[in-house]
Structure 1
Amino acid sequence: MKKIGFLSFGHWSPSVHSQTRSAADFLRQSIDLAVAAEELGVDGAYFRVHHFAQQAGSPFPLLSAIGARTSRIEIGTGVIDMRYENPLHMAEDAGAADLISGGRLQLGVSRGSPEQVIDGWRYFGYAPADGESDADMARRHAEGFLQVIEGEGFAQPNPRPMFPNPPGLLRVEPHSPGLRDRIWWGSGSNATSVWAAKLGMNLQSSTLKDDETGEPLHVQQRKQIEAYRAAYKDAGHTREPRVSVSRSIFALTTDQDRSYFGRDRDSRDQVGMIDDTTRAIFGRSYAAEPDQLVKLLQEDEAIQAADTVLLTVPNQLGVDYNAHLLESILTHVAPDLGWR
């Protein structure tokens, strides 16, 4: 059994070929897709966050709106770039979104990927400390966020406040109990997955990873997951951690599906450079008739090792078509794989 969610990158474009032509279109359609996905039995609605791009940039209003319109589906991110975040302000936003949804927030955070502008986090008012890299800064922000959402008081109260204070030091409000256990780290390397395990975070392993061994992505991810789980256990955590992998998976059940994805050019892993310094491996897409798709997915070692699969969706093709794609996986693929 696996949880199945969708992951939207939230693109919009004025192109005549896009059904998502503005930010308003993306936001409203994302809410509608989450509602439709919940009705189909999908377990999660996740969104990628990019700044300075025509994509999802401010996740918490969207997550809160979805939380108010749905009752069961998990809502989350994959991932929020912590280089851009104030840990305390983010704790307030996350606490509110989690309370609105009734404790369904699954928040993926990370160092993030290359952005649209040079050092974009500087425009948001952040800069690495002396001797820090931007990745170090992201991890520092993440650690601060984790500490704040524990709910312990840390701020000295004003002796003459506007409103009466509870006794003791004050914490960031609103506080949502249990949120700390639902924070995920989007890891692109074995080392950061071990770091996340020690801090008791869940693990998101996406379709992009540092190419550390030259092996296929799914093999490297399986080894990453094993290293993460071993480190999590060694750290003494008692909660069972969760692990997700993201994949582009399309079951070809209609002529329209075959027209869109029948000649997918990304049927093999791709290797490239990130920031001109890091060799990275990009995951392949899976597009095939359902029976063939089942066989292909059975050979994906990372999918077998994970408990959650996030299906990337081409959101610009519209709500109805993306709901069809999700239903095709649930109906024609998931049962034969034992996911349902």
Structure 2
Amino acid sequence: MKKIGFLSFGHWANHPSYQARTAGDTLRQSIDLAVAAEEIGLDGAYFRVHHFAAQLASPFPLLAAIGAKTNTIEIGTGVIDMRYENPLYMVEDAGAADLISEGRLQLGISRGSPEQVIEGWRYFGYEPAEGETDADMGRRKALEFLEKLKGIGFAQPNPYPMFPNPPGLLRLEPHSEGLRERIWWGAASNATAVWAAENGMHLQSSTLKYDEGGKPFHVQQAEQIRLYKEAWKKAGHTREPRVSVSRSVFALVNDQDRYLFGGESGRGDKFGMIEQGKRAVFGRSYAAEPDQLIKELAGDEAIREADTLLLTIPNTLGVDYNVHILSSILEHVAPGLGWR
């Protein structure tokens, strides 16, 4: 069995072919899609977070709204860029959203990916401490977020408060018990995957990672996952780790599918440069008739290593078509791979 969710980048644009032409369209359709995904039996609704772009940015109002309108589906992010975040405020927002959903939040966080503006986190009022890089800052904030999620008091109470205080140091409220154990780290390298394991976070591995050996993407990603699992075991955590991988997967079952995604069939991985001149490998998309798709996905080593698969979706094509995409995977592909 494998958990299957969708991952939406939440794009919008005033384009005649788009169903999501405004931010309001995207937000409302995201809620509708999560509700529909739960109805067809999907396990998770996940959303990217990007600042200074016509994409979803502030996740917690959306996650809370989805939590209020659904009952079983996991709700998450992939990922929140911690360079932009106030960890304490984020603890409060995350706690509220998790309580509304009755403990279904699965938050993916990271030090962040290349953004739309130069050092955008500076506009939010943050900058690295002396001797830190922005990546260091993101990881430091992540650790502070994890620590405060534990719900241990740390703040000295006012002797003359507006309302009576409980005894001892005060924690942030609302506190959601167990949320600390449902935080994921988006790792682009083997080293940060190991770091995530050491700090007790689940692992999210996307459709790209730093090239660390020139092998095919799914092989490198599988190696990253195995290193993560070894580090988790070595760290002595008593709970089971979870691992998700993201993929673009389209079962071509009608003419519209073939028109929109048939051109992706047979394409391979891509290698290229991303921020700071680092070489990365970008995983291929999968698009084929269901029988062929099953054969291709069966050879993906990283999917085999993961317990959760997040299907990236073209959200601009609207709720109905994305439900069709997801339903096609559940009906025509997942059973053939033993996922259902």
Instruction: Give 2:155's aligned residue.
Output: 155
- Deviations along 1:94-134, one digit per CA (max 9) or x if unpaired, are 00000000000000000111100000000000000111110
1:137 matched to 2:137: yes
> What secondary structure does 1:263 align onto?
helix
Report how many aligned residue pairs link the two structures.
340
Instruction: Give 2:171's aligned residue.
Output: 171
Instruction: Give 2:55's aligned residue.
Output: 55
Instruction: Give 1:220's aligned residue.
Output: 220
Looking at structure 2, the residues matched to 93 and 276 of structure 1 have their Cα atoms a distance apart, in angstroms, of 32
Instruction: Give 2:68's aligned residue.
Output: 68
> What secondary structure does 2:185 align onto?
strand
Partner AA of 1:314 in structure 2: P
Looking at structure 2, the residues matched to 30 and 2 of structure 1 have their Cα atoms a distance apart, in angstroms, of 23
Instruction: Give 2:25's aligned residue.
Output: 25
- Deviations along 1:51-100, one digit per CA (max 9) or x if unpaired, are 00000000000000000000000000000000000100000000000000
Instruction: Give 2:186's aligned residue.
Output: 186
Partner AA of 1:16 in structure 2: P
What's the offset of the Cα at 1:212?
Answer: 0.6
Partner AA of 1:29 in structure 2: Q
Instruction: Give 1:121's aligned residue.
Output: 121
Looking at structure 2, the residues matched to 208 and 164 of structure 1 have their Cα atoms a distance apart, in angstroms, of 51
- Deviations along 1:240-261, one digit per CA (max 9) or x if unpaired, are 0100000000000010000000
Moved >6 Å (runs of 4+): none
- Deviations along 1:228-249, one digit per CA (max 9) or x if unpaired, are 0000000010100100000000
1:197 matched to 2:197: yes
Looking at structure 1, the residues matched to 266 and 93 of structure 2 have their Cα atoms a distance apart, in angstroms, of 37
- Deviations along 1:137-159, one digit per CA (max 9) or x if unpaired, are 00000000000000000000000
**Within 5 Å, which residues of 2 pair with 1:202-281?**
202-264=202-264, 267-281=267-281
1:99 matched to 2:114: no
Kindly indicate whether the alpha-carbon contact (under 8 Å) linking 2:265 and 2:287 is maintained by their aligned counterparts in 1.
Answer: no
1:78 matched to 2:83: no
Looking at structure 2, the residues matched to 126 and 276 of structure 1 have their Cα atoms a distance apart, in angstroms, of 20
Aligned alpha-carbon RMSD (Å): 0.7
Partner AA of 2:124 in structure 1: F
Looking at structure 2, the residues matched to 265 and 121 of structure 1 have their Cα atoms a distance apart, in angstroms, of 38
Kindly indicate whether the alpha-carbon contact (under 8 Å) linking 2:20 and 2:317 is maintained by their aligned counterparts in 1.
Answer: yes
What's the offset of the Cα at 1:183?
Answer: 0.1
Instruction: Give 2:293's aligned residue.
Output: 293
Instruction: Give 1:14's aligned residue.
Output: 14
Structure 1 regions of 5+ residues with no counterpart? none
Looking at structure 2, the residues matched to 265 and 158 of structure 1 have their Cα atoms a distance apart, in angstroms, of 64
Looking at structure 1, the residues matched to 148 and 162 of structure 2 have their Cα atoms a distance apart, in angstroms, of 23
Looking at structure 2, the residues matched to 312 and 302 of structure 1 have their Cα atoms a distance apart, in angstroms, of 16
Looking at structure 1, the residues matched to 158 and 255 of structure 2 have their Cα atoms a distance apart, in angstroms, of 66
- The TM-score with structure 1 as length reference comes to 0.99
Instruction: Give 1:36's aligned residue.
Output: 36
- The TM-score with structure 2 as length reference comes to 0.99
> What secondary structure does 2:150 align onto?
coil
> What secondary structure does 1:272 align onto?
strand
Identity of aligned residues (%): 74
Looking at structure 1, the residues matched to 145 and 277 of structure 2 have their Cα atoms a distance apart, in angstroms, of 29
Structure 2 regions of 5+ residues with no counterpart? none
Kindly indicate whether the alpha-carbon contact (under 8 Å) linking 2:265 and 2:288 is maintained by their aligned counterparts in 1.
Answer: no
Instruction: Give 1:333's aligned residue.
Output: 333
What's the offset of the Cα at 1:267?
Answer: 2.0
Looking at structure 1, the residues matched to 27 and 310 of structure 2 have their Cα atoms a distance apart, in angstroms, of 19
Partner AA of 2:6 in structure 1: F
